[in-house]
Homo-oligomer: A and B are copies of this chain.
């Protein structure tokens, strides 16, 4: 398979979301990664170990959605690729490490999900038009074998995605959308819901 270049507007979009989340402290210690679909067969993904608040063009790599990962790809690239393969409507994916996501993903790891009920912020998620009802955010066990982890996640998400994101236990939050604007809105909405849920659990325990 021929390698393709990362379009400059795609690299610029990844740099912009990086500045946004880094300013909020959501990608400490070079953690987190971001991606955007380039075309039917490729996605652009940030390399590991780079400062996510200052992503340069060389910090982004084009990866094929099928076939082996190129050298230099982040260890979490399979999680991104599997989502693009699993849902053709996804155009962008963001992954962050926040305190709320980390702590709640550990607290809910045994249950395998976190329930969020009755928040107006539900409406920040594409297709949700009311605060009524319950959202169920999946939580998956963390695994350094990200290829196997990606397969288990895609199998579990199945045909239905209750929310455009999931938690990895002790690890962080993934969120996606049709565009980077949608992915960022979903990220902000889910993180806000996590912060509220964490605060309520402090009070209710």
Q: Hey, which bits of chain A sit against chain B, CB under 8 A?
A: 24-25, 28-31, 97, 99, 102-103, 106-107, 118-121, 124, 129-132, 142, 144, 168, 170-172, 185-186, 188-189, 191-192, 195-196, 198-203, 205
Contacts and interface: CB of A to CB of B under 8 A. Distances in A.
A25 B118 CA distance: 21
Contacts of A25: 24
Contacts of A130: 144
B168 A142 contact: no
A192 B96 CA distance: 13
A192 B28 contact: yes
10 contacts: A24-B25, A29-B186, A29-B192, A30-B124, A99-B199, A102-B192, A120-B168, A198-B199, A201-B203, A202-B202
B203 A99 contact: no
A47 to B, nearest CB: 15
Given A103-B199, A144-B129, A192 B97 contact: yes
Contacts of A119: 102, 170-171
Contacts of A200: 103, 106-107
B103 A196 contact: yes
A108 to B, nearest CB: 12
